[in-house]
Structure 1
């Protein structure tokens, strides 16, 4: 009987340790997920973009201000699902680095491209284009505008719902 009680005690203790370890692993996983969520939001959301330049909710924060030394503007834009920029051009072009989400980019006269986390998009100088989120998933991007001494952006008309929905057909 003594052997039986020892075996039960060992099994009970082992079960307790396994449960405690699993609980600790779950807490570690929750902490890792919380850390990951914080990493997904690398930059502050920024200010809501004006409806004169965006359809839907897009938020911009400048990260590198224009100056005469670097002559480059860098910022972060977060597009909520369905949000997009107007058609626009940049005198010296623009580079987009997609840091999260799924969206669209279109150069005038070309098909809409799907863009997602990890993609790099080059918008040539003085070429009309637009970019924004997909209908169901937001998009976060870094923008780089070089040679700002030539100008930064020429905003034009809004991308129509028909133009935007061409990707979905």
Structure 2
């Protein structure tokens, strides 16, 4: 498998050690921009996913995912999970509990775009259980 197939066109980057405690499995982070809008390429190994979390802001905020390679999942609390493929765009409003990550049999990469806002913060919550993750089809 070539690097492009496992990390998208923006490159895998380094192991995501700073946020490893909020992920099940190995993820990689390649920060592309910190000026104006923070944009990072996030690559997930097969089966890797982040914990449930919420992007908070007093005004504005949220996150946009631009899917670039592989196959993954996105789920909002209380809703069915949706499959993500290259070209998919997910707009995540401020205050919405959600998670995202790779499918069990595929690497997955997306660009994570932080929507500008006031007093931005992330609230990391519980992991997605193995049982709930394995039930995805």
TM-score bracket relative to the smaller structure: 0.7 to 0.9
Matched, 1:164 2:137: no
* CA distance in structure 2 between the aligned counterparts of 1:117 and 1:111, rounded to whole angstroms: 20
The aligned residue for residue 81 of structure 1 is: 46
RMSD of equivalent CA atoms:
2.1
Q: Aligned to 1:126, which of 79, 92, 95?
A: 95
Deviation (angstroms), 1:161: 0.8
More strand by percentage: 2
Number of aligned pairs?
A: 129
* Structure 2 residue matching 1:163: 3-state secondary structure: helix
Q: Name structure 2 gaps, 5 residues minimum.
A: none
Deviation at 1:46, TM superposition (A): 2.3
1:50-90 Cα offsets, whole Å, 9 max, x none, are 4311000111122222x6xx2x3210100000000111111
Shift of 1:40: 4.2
Provide the C-alpha distance between the structure 2 equivalents of 1:48 and 1:76, rounded to a whole number of angstroms.
11
Partner of 2:22: 53
Aligned position for 1:135:
104
Bigger relative contact order, structure 1 or 2, given CA contacts below 8 A and separation 6+?
A: 2
Quote the offset at 1:42 in angstroms. Answer: 2.3
Separation (CA, whole Å) in 2 of partners of 1:130 and 1:99: 17
Gapped regions of structure 1 (runs ≥ 5):
1-33
Query: Which 4+ runs in 1 deviate beyond 6 A?
Result: none
User: TM-score if structure 1 supplies the norm length?
Assistant: 0.69
Q: Rg bigger for which structure?
A: 1
